[in-house]
A and B are shown apart, each in its own frame.
Chain A
Amino acid sequence: MAIQRKEGSFTMYKLEVRQTNKIFKKEGKEVVALKDANLKIEEGKFISLIGPSGCGKSTLFNIIAGLIKPTTGEVLLDGKNIVGKNGNVGYMLQKDLLLPWRSILQNVILGLEIKGVTKKEAIERAMPLLQKYGLGGFEHHYPDELSGGMRQRAALLRTLLYDQDIILLDEPFGALDAQTRLLMQTWLLNIWTDFKKTILFVTHDIDEAIYLSDEIYVLSPRPGRIKEKVDVHLSRPRNEQTLLQPAFIDLKQHLFALLKQEVVLEK
Chain B
Amino acid sequence: MRDNPEQIILPHKVKVKEIDSSILIEDEELKERRRKRITLIGQLLIGIFGFVLWELFAKWKIIDAYYWSSPSIIWETGLIAFTEGTLWSDLLYTSGATILGFLLGTFFGALLGLSFWWSYFYSRIAEPYLIAFNAIPKLALAPVLVILFGIGFSSKVVLAFMMTVIVTAIAAHSGVKSVDSDLEKMLFSLGAKKHHIFAKVVIPSAMPWIVSSLKINIALALAGTIVGEFISSRQGIGRMILYAGQIMNINLVWVGVVVLSILSVLMYVGTVWLEKRLLRGRRIRE
A-side residues, CB < 8 A to B, are 65, 67, 86-91, 93, 95, 97, 99-101, 103, 110-111, 113-115, 142, 144-145, 158, 162
Contacts and interface: CB of A to CB of B under 8 A. Distances in A.
B188 A67 contact: yes
B189 interface: yes
Contacts of A162: 190-191
Chain A at the B interface: mostly helix, strand, loop or mixed? Answer: loop
A114 B186 contact: no
Given A93-B185, A114-B196, A101 B191 contact: no
A86 B281 contact: no
Nearest to A90: B189
16 contacts: A67-B185, A67-B189, A86-B192, A87-B192, A89-B189, A93-B182, A93-B186, A97-B180, A97-B182, A97-B183, A99-B200, A101-B204, A101-B282, A114-B191, A142-B283, A144-B283
A250 to B, nearest CB: 36
A89 B188 CA distance: 11
B151 interface: no
A114 B192 contact: yes
B283 A110 contact: no
Contacts of B191: 86-88, 111, 114-115, 162
Contacts of B183: 97, 99
B267 interface: no
A111 B190 contact: yes
Contacts of B189: 65, 67, 86-87, 89-91, 93
Contacts, number: 58
Interface in B149-197: 180, 182-183, 185-192, 196
Of A111, A115, A162, the most chain B CB neighbours within 10 A belong to: A111
B283 to A, nearest CB: 5
Interface string B217-229: 0000000000000
B285 interface: yes
A139 to B, nearest CB: 14
Chain B at the A interface: mostly helix, strand, loop or mixed? Answer: helix
A152 to B, nearest CB: 13
B201 interface: yes
A245 B200 CA distance: 48
Given A87-B188, A97-B182, 5 more contacts: A86-B189, A87-B191, A89-B189, A99-B201, A114-B191
B281 A114 contact: no
A115 B285 CA distance: 32
Of B188, B190, B196, B283, the most chain A CB neighbours within 10 A belong to: B190
Given A101-B282, A144-B283, A144-B285, A86 B186 contact: no
Contact of A97 (B186, B196, B282): B186
Contacts of B282: 100-101
A110 B182 contact: no
Nearest to B197: A114
A110 B190 contact: yes
4 tightest A-B CB contacts, nearest first:
A87-B191, A91-B189, A111-B190, A97-B186
A30 B192 CA distance: 31
Contacts of A90: 189
A86 B184 CA distance: 12
B35 to A, nearest CB: 26
Nearest to B280: A101
A64 to B, nearest CB: 10
A97 B285 CA distance: 18
A162 B188 CA distance: 12
A115 to B, nearest CB: 7
Interface string B255-286: 00000000000000000000000000111010
A113 to B, nearest CB: 8
Nearest to A145: B283
Contacts of A88: 191
A91 B182 CA distance: 12
B181 to A, nearest CB: 11
A95 B200 contact: no
Contacts of B180: 97
B176 to A, nearest CB: 16
B203 to A, nearest CB: 10
A169 B206 CA distance: 29
A114 B281 CA distance: 21
Interface in B127-159: none
Contacts of A99: 183, 200-201, 204
Nearest to A161: B190
Contacts of A89: 189
B134 to A, nearest CB: 28
A115 B282 CA distance: 25
B97 to A, nearest CB: 34
